A and B are shown apart, each in its own frame.
Chain A
């Protein structure tokens, strides 16, 4: 049975996100565009893989990202100090950036725990109950005295923030708060007049 594209894509492409972001942050001067470029690169790789899966997926991903940035430079006539109007700086060998580190169990968990700790108090509690204690959404809502809708909102925020925090090196500043829905999250908490114990 041919491996489903989804499985392949997650393992061969999405697993390189941290390194990809580090690469993008190094060569692209506009921080607010990093996630756009990343997602566009993913989409292009996906479309290419629909026809034929690349033999060297990681290199293909980085090459795709490089082409996207070169396109942007040309299209928008972006001339940054770093770029100096020429796109040679985009030609960084993938493996120069950082040697592939095989994440150990502990390392993965440290990263996850740290990401989890960055969630707001309420969001953290909701994600914990749902993912670790495996309560249903309804049960989480009852337990915390929130509406199910609010619980769902926290879970959505949690999923997005965990994806971001677990995959983004600390060198890259977090995305603007609004972009990550953190403001929403705080609002939700205040709405319910519940304050975190810590």
Chain B
């Protein structure tokens, strides 16, 4: 049994952790850290525990994305972020009714999920919009808001939502649908009486569509339109190439020129065009100028591809080149692979999308790989 107190060990562990994180870290430092870790299992588990929590704390970024300036948002104002939607509150309250005042505070004020109009109103009312989804409202819409929110919504609502690199955000639309925006994403929402028009200007988003047979839910991305009535699917846009993953229900994918917003229930033949295509749950479709390629994937595979919604990237037997490209979507600091042999390393595992440092450290520990960082680039080469 160690004679050191738990507290003393924890203090020492936190000192190592922060020092490694914040300073020039030399091989000699690393050797001293390793010696400390090797000295006692209690040291090691204390260090891992703090390291894990510290890595998780980077997820505050998800709440901070889009917040201008350097100052942290005031305490308790998290409830303005779209993450605190009604379902989450229920979970929090279920916690043996325990969390007491804090929970109540959070929940009481947060049932106004970031609906389109409240985003707009909130941002107008506040000095600075700091939540992760920023909404921009046209001057015309603002006038209508002044006239009355409810009326405004029946007519039309044009909103723009964006996330910055590394940010993930969720928006509840007035019709009950939910959009989760992945890193560096921009969507425009235009709800009318006839159609729910979403324009994916860039990036990737996951759509949970509230059922409404009278108003098709249409996601436009580049030259394609993806149409649903009530279903769950994601669309990733890279220029005019798109990737659609259907988690639930059915969606139709067609060229943008076809302005018929028919619900997707029609079979392909009836849709009257060979360019329109029905996708069922488990489908992963790549669509571009050259046509549409559809693959059927087992659920575990589609789940892995949609895991970004939890801030985690899941890789199954993918090359380091693919993995690096994925990380680069979430981080300003870009991973560059100079060595073709290194690019072919196979990677498997779950990683925090924004914790590129932890990933690089693992690579260095697990493979003969050396990482050199300069000018916002992390260059990988064989050791």
Is residue A163 within 8 Å, beta carbon to beta carbon, of the partner chain?
yes
Complex alpha-carbon distance, A158 and B14, angstroms = 9
Complex alpha-carbon distance, A73 and B379, angstroms = 55
Asked if A159 contacts B17 (CB within 8 A), the reply is yes
Complex interface residues of chain A between 83 and 128 (CB less than 8 A to chain B): 98, 101, 104-110, 112-114, 116-117, 124-125, 127-128
Complex interface residues of chain B between 65 and 79 (CB less than 8 A to chain A): 67, 70-72, 74-76, 78
Complex alpha-carbon distance, A179 and B5, angstroms = 10
Q: What are the interface flags for B76-87 relative to A under an 8 Å C-beta threshold, 1 for contact and 0 otherwise?
A: 101001011101
Is residue A147 within 8 Å, beta carbon to beta carbon, of the partner chain?
no
Complex alpha-carbon distance, A171 and B365, angstroms = 39
Is residue A143 within 8 Å, beta carbon to beta carbon, of the partner chain?
yes
Q: What are the interface flags for B329-352 relative to A under an 8 Å C-beta threshold, 1 for contact and 0 otherwise?
A: 000000000000000001011100
Complex alpha-carbon distance, A36 and B11, angstroms = 14
Complex alpha-carbon distance, A1 and B64, angstroms = 36
Is residue A80 within 8 Å, beta carbon to beta carbon, of the partner chain?
no
* CB-defined contacts of B5 to chain A, threshold 8 Å: 36
From DSSP, what is the main secondary structure of chain B's interface residues? Answer: helix
* CB-defined contacts of B350 to chain A, threshold 8 Å: 11
Contact status of A109 and B62, CB under 8 A, knowing A137-B22, A155-B22, A159-B53: yes
Asked if A125 contacts B10 (CB within 8 A), the reply is no
Count class of interface residues, chain A: 35 or more
Asked if A156 contacts B14 (CB within 8 A), the reply is yes
Asked if A110 contacts B88 (CB within 8 A), the reply is yes
* CB-defined contacts of B311 to chain A, threshold 8 Å: 105
Question: Could you say which of A17, A112, A135, A152 has the most chain B C-beta atoms within 10 Å of its C-beta?
Answer: A112
Complex alpha-carbon distance, A117 and B78, angstroms = 9
Is residue B99 within 8 Å, beta carbon to beta carbon, of the partner chain?
yes
Complex alpha-carbon distance, A17 and B50, angstroms = 12
From DSSP, what is the main secondary structure of chain A's interface residues? Answer: helix
Of B28-36, B40-48, B243-251, the one with at least 4 CB within 8 A of chain A: B40-48
Q: What are the interface flags for A134-171 relative to B under an 8 Å C-beta threshold, 1 for contact and 0 otherwise?
A: 01110000010000000010011111101100110111
Asked if A132 contacts B64 (CB within 8 A), the reply is yes
* CB-defined contacts of B170 to chain A, threshold 8 Å: 105-106
* CB-defined contacts of B50 to chain A, threshold 8 Å: 159-160, 163
Asked if A110 contacts B83 (CB within 8 A), the reply is yes
CB distance from A46 to the nearest CB of B (A): 5
Is residue A4 within 8 Å, beta carbon to beta carbon, of the partner chain?
yes
Is residue A57 within 8 Å, beta carbon to beta carbon, of the partner chain?
no
Asked if B62 contacts A169 (CB within 8 A), the reply is no
A-B contact count (CB 8 A): 182
* CB-defined contacts of A133 to chain B, threshold 8 Å: 64, 70
- Cβ 8 A contact of A106, one of B42, B75, B87: B87
Is residue A183 within 8 Å, beta carbon to beta carbon, of the partner chain?
no
Is residue A191 within 8 Å, beta carbon to beta carbon, of the partner chain?
no
Is residue A129 within 8 Å, beta carbon to beta carbon, of the partner chain?
yes
* CB-defined contacts of A98 to chain B, threshold 8 Å: 96
Is residue A131 within 8 Å, beta carbon to beta carbon, of the partner chain?
yes
Asked if A35 contacts B6 (CB within 8 A), the reply is yes
Q: What are the interface flags for A2-40 relative to B under an 8 Å C-beta threshold, 1 for contact and 0 otherwise?
A: 011011011100100100000000000000000110011
Asked if B23 contacts A137 (CB within 8 A), the reply is yes
Asked if B362 contacts A198 (CB within 8 A), the reply is no
Asked if A166 contacts B84 (CB within 8 A), the reply is no
Contact status of A170 and B99, CB under 8 A, knowing A125-B72, A160-B50, A181-B11: yes
* CB-defined contacts of B103 to chain A, threshold 8 Å: 170
Is residue A59 within 8 Å, beta carbon to beta carbon, of the partner chain?
no
CB distance from B141 to the nearest CB of A (A): 28
Asked if B88 contacts A169 (CB within 8 A), the reply is no
Contact status of A156 and B18, CB under 8 A, knowing A14-B48, A117-B76, A128-B64: yes
- Cβ 8 A contact of A107, one of B6, B64, B70, B88: B88
Chosen A-B contacts, 17 in total, with CB atoms closer than 8 Å, are A10-B48, A39-B42, A42-B46, A104-B91, A105-B311, A109-B59, A112-B59, A113-B60, A114-B106, A116-B57, A117-B76, A127-B57, A128-B70, A129-B72, A133-B64, A136-B22, A170-B98
8 more contacts with CB within 8 A, not counting A105-B309, A108-B310, A132-B63, are A109-B84, A133-B64, A152-B18, A152-B19, A156-B14, A156-B15, A170-B102, A170-B103
- Interface, chain A (partner B; CB < 8 A): 1, 3-4, 6-7, 9-11, 14, 17, 35-36, 39-40, 42-44, 46-47, 98, 101, 104-110, 112-114, 116-117, 124-125, 127-133, 135-137, 143, 152, 155-160, 162-163, 166-167, 169-171, 179, 181, 198
- Shortest Cβ-Cβ A-B pairs, 6 listed: A106-B88, A163-B53, A128-B72, A42-B45, A43-B41, A132-B64
